[in-house]
């Protein structure tokens, strides 16, 4: 009887989860989406507690208390610049939880466990454990605990595939011999090592895609656990999460003109393959005052921000500058490249935090046709995503990547710490165009000076 | 005790496939502005694996089973709490331009 009640409540929870994502379609309804998510979770947990009365009340309360104590400060305090790291951490936690439940389920039932169940269970554990270590490495790279450079060595593919082979072979052995409990740690160990090897060989610049792929893995492993436990709510929730990660991953890889295989196994970012021309080209550098003079006569301005803006903590000055420009009747927009920032949608969040109204945030496809009619583009902390070589030079590693067409604007102001190349290690020919004004220095400092020059000019 | 019987498997596969199609449709329509909070939200939602840990914890037969399930409960609870709180915090930051300007 309680089982039937619980099952019915699971249907309600699944519906609430679906509605939750439906409401995320637009900003206006998005907070309702989160509320539906919370409600669905509450229904699911309530139903489970009702149907499965636990003998281990102390253990349960203790474990939940730890979750609340650890989770609350993360949710309430983490800086918006650190959200990518926290996302990687949450994938690590989620996939480990799923893998551990899988292991517990095995130890609970073994050896009375049929091959079909055990196959799904082993697959779920392999995926869960490799996602755990992979996400831990992604976290360490994003947090700067370890170098963002890919760790590459000869025969790397051979080693990785060998370890994955061990994981799969030992899992297959376990399926054939369910009573061999000692094999499980081997399966888990090999999967953990494979996850480590996989992500350690991927460069920091690819982390937005990697996070999305790990997101997808975490979701799929949760769905697989649903198959094992014959729990349809878990299948639905895990699949929705897996779908989300997959789609975001596809968007990210398209925005970098790379395939999943190339990102996961390509090791891009270690070697500079760009054509570093020997001719010495000189970029014209300007002062913030020079830029202020140009901007005084501008009628339209587009900011093209990159993660460097957030590193310099310059988003608030950018917003102030935008306010001053708007007060002068100048049209202001922000051009958002899909991989600006360090995870899908990250730049929007960083700017929203600086109180930039979201209707000024223009995504790449929508803003690109507007550049030819734009007087001034200000590139802050971005580089590769503006490099025209992506359109024009087939020999460039960036060739084919969709970019913001800032070079088509009448004047391009490039605020940069130094003349160094971007993540890809490729020189940007935009620096040397006659219409480009390079302003070297810390983004926040340069923008603050630009702001005060503009203010001093009066109307 | 746990056994996937073929009738259940077919039903579950059907649910999985429908959820995949539905998921693709839903996510495709999510505004690009919201991809970061979307990730925080789906992460919290998939931590409904919390209930799987609860179910295992309800009838443990050995110490190690209880321990594994309890660790899973703590991890999933962390994700649920931080995921929903973070999603709400991010979504509250998105504001429209003041009207009339």
pLDDT band at A1 (very low <50, low <70, confident <90, very high): very low
Same domain, residue pair B40 and B61: yes
A115 contacts chain B (CB < 8 A): no
State the pLDDT at residue A424.
64
Helix orientation angle between A232-255 and A207-229, rounded to the nearest 10 degrees: 160
Same domain, residue pair B58 and B36: yes
Candidates A252, A199, A44, A86; CA nearest to B43 is A86
B89 contacts chain A (CB < 8 A): yes
Identify the three-state secondary structure at position A24.
Answer: coil
Give the pLDDT confidence of A427-456 residue by residue, as tens digits: 788 888 889 999 999 999 999 999 999 888
pLDDT exceeds 80 at position A267: no
Instruction: Tell me the C-alpha to C-alpha distance, in Å, between residue A222 and each of A10, A111, A244, A343.
Output: 16, 23, 14, 22
Give the pLDDT confidence of A28-64 residue by residue, as tens digits: 999 999 999 999 999 999 999 999 887 788 999 999 9
Same domain, residue pair B87 and B50: yes
Three-state SS sequence of A361-372: EEEHHHHHHHHH
Domain residues for the domain of B8 are 1-30
Higher pLDDT: A457 or A103? It is A103
In residues, how long is chain B? Answer: 101
Distance of CA A280 to the CA centre of its chain: 37
- Residue A375 annotated as catalytic: no
Contact yes or no for B41 and A34 at CB 8 A: yes
Region for A154 from its dihedrals, namely left if φ exceeds 0, alpha if ψ lies in -120 to 50, beta otherwise: beta
- Select from A64, A343, A352 the Cβ nearest to the Cβ of B77: A64
Token pair in block for residue A209: 């895609």
Q: How many domains does chain B have?
A: 2
Report domain extents, chain A: 80-265, 288-456
Residue for token pair 């449709």: B25
Same domain, residue pair B9 and B26: yes
State the pLDDT at residue B101.
40
Count Cβ neighbours within 10 Å for each residue of A274-305 and write b for 16 or more, e otherwise. Answer: beeeeeeeebeebbbebbbeebeebebbbbbb
Phi (first) and psi of residue A438, to 5 degrees = -85, 130
Same domain, residue pair B59 and B45: yes
Same domain, residue pair B23 and B63: no
pTM: 0.92
Give the pLDDT confidence of A79-100 residue by residue, as tens digits: 999 999 999 999 999 999 999 9
* CB-side neighbour CA atoms (13 Å) of A270: 12
Cis amide linkage into residue A111, ω under 30° from 0: yes
Residues 6+ apart with CB under 8 A from A33: A19, A20, A21, A22, A23, A24, B41
Cβ neighbours, 10 Å, residue A28: 11
The CATH number fitting domain A288-456, selected from 3.40.50.1220, 2.60.40.10, 3.90.550.10, 3.30.450.40: 3.40.50.1220
Please say whether the beta carbons of A428 and A420 come within 8 A. Answer: no
Cβ-Cβ contacts under 8 Å, A117 against chain B: 2-4
- How close does chain B come to A41, measured CA to CA in Å? 7
Top residue of B45, B61, B83, B98 to mutate, by most chain A CBs within 10 Å, is: B45
Same domain, residue pair B54 and B94: yes
Contact yes or no for A108 and B56 at CB 8 A: yes
């Amino acid at each position: 009887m309680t089982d039937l009640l619980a099952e019915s409540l699971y249907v309600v929870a699944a519906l609430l989860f679906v509605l939750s994502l439906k409401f995320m379609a637009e900003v206006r309804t998005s907070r309702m989406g989160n509320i539906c998510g919370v409600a669905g979770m509450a229904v699911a947990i309530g139903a489970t507690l009702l149907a499965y009365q636990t003998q281990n009340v102390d253990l349960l309360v203790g474990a939940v208390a730890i979750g609340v104590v650890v989770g609350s400060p993360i949710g309430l305090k983490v800086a918006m610049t650190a959200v990518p790291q926290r996302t990687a951490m949450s994938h690590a936690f989620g996939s480990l939880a799923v893998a551990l439940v899988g292991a517990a389920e095995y130890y609970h039932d073994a050896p009375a466990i049929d091959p079909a169940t055990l196959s799904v269970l082993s697959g779920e554990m392999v995926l869960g454990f490799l996602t755990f270590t992979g996400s831990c490495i992604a976290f360490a790279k994003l947090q700067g605990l370890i170098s963002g450079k890919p760790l590459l060595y000869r025969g790397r593919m051979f080693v990785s595939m060998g370890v994955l082979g061990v994981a799969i072979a030992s899992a297959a052995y376990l399926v054939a011999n369910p009573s061999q409990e000692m094999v499980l740690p081997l399966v888990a160990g090999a999967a953990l090592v494979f996850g480590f090897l996989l992500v350690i060989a991927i460069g920091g610049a690819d982390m937005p895609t990697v996070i999305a792929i790990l997101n997808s893995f975490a979701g799929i492993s949760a769905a697989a656990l649903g198959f094992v436990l014959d729990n349809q709510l878990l299948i639905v929730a895990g699949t929705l999460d897996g779908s989300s990660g997959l789609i975001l991953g596809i968007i990210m890889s398209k925005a970098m003109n790379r395939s999943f295989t190339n990102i996961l196994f390509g090791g891009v970012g270690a070697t500079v393959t760009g054509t570093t021309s020997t001719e010495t080209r000189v970029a014209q550098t300007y002062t913030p005052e020079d830029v202020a003079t140009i901007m005084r006569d501008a009628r339209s301005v587009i900011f093209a921000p990159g993660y460097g803006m957030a590193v310099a903590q310059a988003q608030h000055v950018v917003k102030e500058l935008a306010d001053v420009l708007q007060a002068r009747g100048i049209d202001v927009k922000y051009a958002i490249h899909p991989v600006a920032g360090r995870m899908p949608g990250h730049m929007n969040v960083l700017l929203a935090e600086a109180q930039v109204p979201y209707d000024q945030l223009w995504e790449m496809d929508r803003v690109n046709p507007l550049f030819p009619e734009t007087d001034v583009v200000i590139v802050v902390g971005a580089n590769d995503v503006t490099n025209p070589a992506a359109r024009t030079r087939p020999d460039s590693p960036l060739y084919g990547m969709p970019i913001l067409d800032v070079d088509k604007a009448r004047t391009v102001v490039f605020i940069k710490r130094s003349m160094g190349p971007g993540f890809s290690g490729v020189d940007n020919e935009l620096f040397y165009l006659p219409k480009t004004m390079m302003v070297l220095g810390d983004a926040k400092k340069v923008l603050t000076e630009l702001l005060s020059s503009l203010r001093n000019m009066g109307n | 005790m746990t056994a996937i019987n073929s009738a259940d498997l077919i039903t579950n596969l059907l649910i999985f496939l429908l959820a995949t199609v539905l998921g693709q449709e839903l996510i495709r329509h999510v505004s690009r502005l919201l991809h970061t909070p979307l990730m925080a939200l789906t992460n919290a939602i998939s931590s409904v694996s919390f209930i799987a840990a609860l179910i295992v914890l309800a009838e443990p037969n050995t110490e190690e089973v209880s321990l594994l399930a309890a660790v899973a409960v703590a991890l999933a609870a962390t994700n649920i709490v931080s995921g929903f709180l973070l999603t709400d915090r991010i979504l509250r930051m998105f504001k429209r331009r003041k009207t009339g300007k």
